């Protein structure tokens, strides 16, 4: 690990520790720097502000931990991985979800998850004649559903285990994605029929 990565991780650890007891709005760059044993200049060398650091945490921890799950056969593994990560960082993400505006976590989770779910839908649609716009629509639908459920789960204190949540989600999703894709493939042919 490079010195730059170690410094960023130290700053991230400091911010996450402070977010266990304070809202992000009440944490200053000085607080983050002091908590990591570094100075403000070092902070600003790596990040433009505390929201940039929050964004880096989202990307480097949450998104990279699930980047390998790209196909339909492993979508539930991706979801469980996300839920475990959020639970292991419970206080940080509860606080992050209650921080409106700049770099809001729910917006970030949507964008990151949308890309991965799109890959899953692409994989599931292999061999079907489904338009790219329909594939994007279906991926967006499942992304909204997943992110909405996850955000509610986090905001209500993550009372259910990740595996329990995933079982409930799987019961709703399994089979519906391939049916939706098949219907859209059929719609394309129906639209072009004379």
Query: Of 10-14, 83-87, 163-167, 169-173, which gets the smallest average pLDDT?
Result: 169-173
Distances 66 to 91, 120, 127 between C-alpha atoms, Å = 20, 13, 26
Are the CB atoms for 33 and 7 separated by under 8 Å? no
Provide mean pLDDT across the span 14-36.
93
Q: What confidence score (pLDDT) does residue 192 get?
A: 46
pLDDT level of residue 165 (50, 70, 90 thresholds): very high
Q: What confidence score (pLDDT) does residue 188 get?
A: 52
Nearest to residue 147, comparing CAs of 96, 171, 113?
Answer: 113
Q: What confidence score (pLDDT) does residue 190 get?
A: 45
pLDDT tens for each residue of 98-151: 776 655 677 878 887 888 888 888 888 888 889 999 999 999 999 999 889 998
Q: What confidence score (pLDDT) does residue 191 get?
A: 46
Nearest to residue 24, comparing CAs of 92, 87, 86, 89?
Answer: 92
Q: What confidence score (pLDDT) does residue 37 get?
A: 95
What lies within 8 Å, CB to CB, of 36 at 6+ separation is 10, 11, 13, 14
Are the CB atoms for 15 and 54 separated by under 8 Å? yes
d(CA 41, CA 62): 27
Q: What confidence score (pLDDT) does residue 70 get?
A: 55
pLDDT of 1 strictly over 80: no
Q: In sequence order, what E strands does 2-153 have? A: none
């Amino acid at each position: 690990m490079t010195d730059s990565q170690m410094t960023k991780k130290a700053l991230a650890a400091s911010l996450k520790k402070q977010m266990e007891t304070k809202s992000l709005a009440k944490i200053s760059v000085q607080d983050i720097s002091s908590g990591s044993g570094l100075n403000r200049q070092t902070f600003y060398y790596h990040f433009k502000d505390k929201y940039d650091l929050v964004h880096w945490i989202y990307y480097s921890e949450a998104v990279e931990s699930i980047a390998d799950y790209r196909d339909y056969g492993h979508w539930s593994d991706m979801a469980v991985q996300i839920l475990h990560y959020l639970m292991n960082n419970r206080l940080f993400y509860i606080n992050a979800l209650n921080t409106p505006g700049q770099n809001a976590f729910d917006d970030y989770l949507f964008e990151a998850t949308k890309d991965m779910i799109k890959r899953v839908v692409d994989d599931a649609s292999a061999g079907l004649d489904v338009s790219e716009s329909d594939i994007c629509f279906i991926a967006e639908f499942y992304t909204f559903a997943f992110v909405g459920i996850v955000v509610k789960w986090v905001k209500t204190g993550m009372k259910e285990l990740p595996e329990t949540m995933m079982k409930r989600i799987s019961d709703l999703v399994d089979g519906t994605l391939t049916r939706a894709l098949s219907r859209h493939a059929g719609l394309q042919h129906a639209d072009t029929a004379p």
